[in-house]
Amino acid sequence: MARLSEQEISQIRAKADIVDVIGRYVPLTRKGKSYKCVCPFHDDHDPSMSIAADKQIYKCFVCGAGGNVFMFVQNYEKISFIEAVYKVAEYAGVTLEHTLDVTPRIKDPHLQALHKACREAIEFTHYQLDTLDAKNVKEYLMRRNITEEIIKRFEIGYNPMDDALYRFLHAKKHADDDLVSAGLVRVTSLGMKDVFSHRIMIPIHDEFGEPVGFTARRVAENEEAKYINTTETDIYKKGNLIFNYHRAKQEARKAKKAYLVEGAMDVLALEKVELHNAVATLGTAMTKEQLRLLQLLHVPIVVCYDGDKAGRNATYKFGKMAREAQLPFEIVDNKYGLDPDEVIDVYGKDELRALLDKTISWIDFLFEYLLGRYNLDNYSQKKEFAQEMALEIQALQDDFEKQSYFIRLRELTEFDMQVEQPKEERRAIHQPQPPRQSFLTFPKSGRSHAEHEILSQMLNGIAASNLFKEELGFLKDDTGNKLAMYIIDYYRTHTTLAVAELLDVIREEDVKALLLEIANWELAREDVDMAVLQEAIAKEKSCFLDDKIQLLNKKIRSVNDPMEKAKLAVEKNQLIKEREEWRSAGRK
C-alpha cells in the first residue's frame, strides 16, 4: 500500500465532519454551537465530552481525552492512525487511489491452507452452478427469486455428486488432512467423500471477508437435513461469526441501521427487496462475540427473527443481552409466524417491506412476550411478571416513556407501580453536591492566564502570531513554548489555522493536550484582539523580567567585590526600568 500524502490526509480531514463521524459511534445532543455526549473513554454517565463543530475537535472535560476526527476513530476502534484515516475517508465519501488492506495477515501455514481450500471450493462450486449438470438447481434458484445479481454477490454455487469437489481440490495439490480440517471432506470406509455433495453452496466469511465455511441447502428433497453447515474447525467457529457481516457493515452505516435475521436464506430474502444491510447469526443463539461485532457497526439493530415460538424466544434472549450491552435496537412486529422468505412466498415482496417497517420497542415486545409466559390470574406469576417488567421499565432513560409504561403495567396487574428515583438523585435532593470536577482548570488572572491568552489569540490569527514573534518570541513554560513554535511554523505555509490539522502535526502528547485546552478555553475570544494580546505579552515579559531581577538580587548578595556589585546594580536598574515600561505598555 502506498503511503498517503499530507495533502490526501488534509483533504479527508477537510471533507469529514467530526460531528457526523462521532455521531456514528455515540448519541450526540446539541448544546449551543457545540455538541455533548457521554465520553466513551471512561465510565461516564453525565455527558462530559464536548465536540466543537467549528474547530473540528472533541474534548472530555473529565478524563481529558481529546483530539481531531482521526484521533477519535483511532482511539475508539483501537486501530492504527492510517487505518483511522482510511475509515474516516470512507465515512466522508472520499475515494482514494490506493486501498488499505486491513485483513489480518494470517501467518499460521495451517490456517492459510484452510482458507485457501475454502476459497478454491467457492470458485469451483460457483462455476459449477452454470454447468449443464446444475440446470435444475439454477432453475430452482430463479423460481425462488434468487437472481443472477444475488448469486454473483454471494458467490452461491453448486457442489455436484460423485465427490467432484474433493477430486478438484486434490488435483490442486491440497493435502487430504487440510481438506478434512477445513470441513470440506470426510474420511469414510470408501475413501474421501464430499461433505456437501449435491447441495446448493452459500459461502460463509469471517468479519474480514476471509472464507471459512459453507451453509448448504439440499437439492434432493429426500435428504434428511434441509441445511447443513460446516462443522467447527480451526477457522470456522460459529459463535464468532455473523453471516454477511463483511459485506453489510458499510451498507448498514449508510442506512443507519442493520437488520438481524436468523439464517443465510433470510439475508437473501432481504436482498430480494433491495435491502443490503442484513446479517444473520446462523442460528438463534446470540453469543457475546457476535454481540461485539454488532456493536462495532455503531448503528441501531432491527431484529427480524422468525415469528414462531423459537424466533420469539431468541428475540427475548437477544434483547436481554443487547440492553445490558447498551446496544440500541428495535424489533420487527412479526405477527405472521413466518420467516422473511415465507412472507414473500405467501404475501409478496411489498408485504415484507411493509413488515420490516413495523417495529416495536423492547418494552412493547416484552409486554406481549411475557404475557404469553405468565398467567396473570395466578398471584405469584402476576407478581413475577410485574417485577420483571418493572426492572426493564425502570432502566429506560426517558421519564415520559417510563411513566407511560408504568401506567400500562398498573392497569394490567393492579399493582401500584411507580417510577423509582435513582439513589443518587434522592441524595441530591437532601444533600448539597460538590461542584463537578473538571479536567481543565484555567486561572482567570496571573501568569498562566497571560500565557493562555497569548496562545489562544495565536490560534485565532496570523497577526497575533507575528506580534508574539516580534515582541516576545518565547514562553517560559516549556510545553507552552513548544506549542507557540508549532503555531509559528504552521503559519509559514498557511494564512489561517485549523486546530484539527495542527493536531496531526504535533507529536508530543503534552503539547497536543495543551492545544486542546487552549482551543476549549472558556475565556477564549473568537477573533484577535490586539490590545488584549499586547497586554498579555506585556504581562508575560514583565514576569520574565521579574525573574531576572530576582536572580540578580541573589547574585548581588553573593558578590563581595564592590566594583562587581556596582556593575550588577546598574544592570538591575536597567531591568527594573524595562519592566516598568512593559507594565506601562500593558496598562494602556
Q: Residue 420's pLDDT is what?
A: 56
Q: What is the mean pLDDT of residues 425-447?
A: 40
Q: Residue 426's pLDDT is what?
A: 41
Is the alpha carbon torsion for 346, 351, 353, 355 positive or negative?
A: negative
* CA–CA–CA angle 439, 298, 440 (5° rounding): 5
- Over 50: is that where the pLDDT of 424 sits? no
Q: Which residue has the higher pLDDT, 450 or 302?
A: 302
Of 313, 304, 252, 260, residue with least CA distance to 277: 252
Q: What is the mean pLDDT of residues 156-183?
A: 95
pLDDT grade for 58, boundaries at 50, 70 and 90: very high
Is the alpha carbon torsion for 199, 201, 202, 208 positive or negative?
A: positive
Q: What is the mean pLDDT of residues 73-95?
A: 86
Domain termination site, one of 179, 203, 236: 236
> 255 and 207 in one domain?
no
For all residues of the chain together, what is the average pLDDT? 86
- Residues 503-506: contacts with CB under 8 Å, at least 24 apart: 503/57, 503/67, 503/68, 503/71, 504/9, 504/13, 504/68, 504/70
What is the percent of the chain with per-residue pLDDT over 70, rounded to a whole number? 90
Answer yes or no: is 103 within a domain. no
Answer yes or no: is 104 within a domain. no
Q: Residue 260's pLDDT is what?
A: 97
Q: Residue 107's pLDDT is what?
A: 58
Answer yes or no: is 196 within a domain. yes
Distance CA 586, CA 588 (A): 6
pLDDT grade for 28, boundaries at 50, 70 and 90: confident
Over residues 229-278, the pLDDT tens digits come to 999 999 999 999 999 998 998 888 788 899 999 999 999 999 999 999 99
Min mean pLDDT across 56-65, 443-452, 460-469 is at: 443-452
Of 348, 163, 196, 373, residue with least CA distance to 273: 348
3-state SS assignment for residue 223: coil
Distance CA 263, CA 261 (A): 6
Q: What is the pTM of this model?
A: 0.62
Over residues 311-340, the pLDDT tens digits come to 899 999 999 999 888 889 999 998 888 889
> 208 and 335 in one domain?
no
Answer yes or no: is 426 within a domain. no
Of 469, 449, 468, residue with least CA distance to 524: 449
Q: Residue 531's pLDDT is what?
A: 84
Which helix (H) or strand (E) segment is 158 a member of? Answer: strand 157-159
> 137 and 216 in one domain?
yes
> 583 and 452 in one domain?
yes
> 190 and 113 in one domain?
yes
Q: Residue 142's pLDDT is what?
A: 94
Domain that holds residue 43: 6-92
**What CATH number should be reported for the domain holding residue 465?**
1.10.860.10
Burial-class residue 116 by CB neighbours within 10 Å (0-12, 13-18, 19+): middle
Q: Residue 585's pLDDT is what?
A: 62
CB count in 10 Å sphere of residue 369: 17
Count how many domains the chain has: 5
Q: Residue 577's pLDDT is what?
A: 83
Distance CA 163, CA 166 (A): 5
- Over 80: is that where the pLDDT of 437 sits? no
Min mean pLDDT across 120-124, 184-188, 190-194, 219-223 is at: 219-223
> 145 and 223 in one domain?
yes
Q: Residue 99's pLDDT is what?
A: 64
> 456 and 574 in one domain?
yes
Task: Yes or no: say if 462 and 491 are a contact pair by the CB < 8 Å rule.
Answer: yes
3-state SS assignment for residue 51: strand
pLDDT grade for 397, boundaries at 50, 70 and 90: confident
Q: Residue 436's pLDDT is what?
A: 38
Q: What is the mean pLDDT of residues 274-288?
A: 88
Q: Residue 80's pLDDT is what?
A: 82
Distance CA 355, CA 304 (A): 10
Answer yes or no: is 440 within a domain. no
Q: What is the mean pLDDT of residues 73-80?
A: 88
CA distances from 304 to 129, 149, 253, 291 (A): 30, 24, 18, 15
> 292 and 204 in one domain?
no
Min mean pLDDT across 118-127, 268-277, 422-431, 550-559 is at: 422-431
> 468 and 577 in one domain?
yes
Q: What is the mean pLDDT of residues 40-51?
A: 89
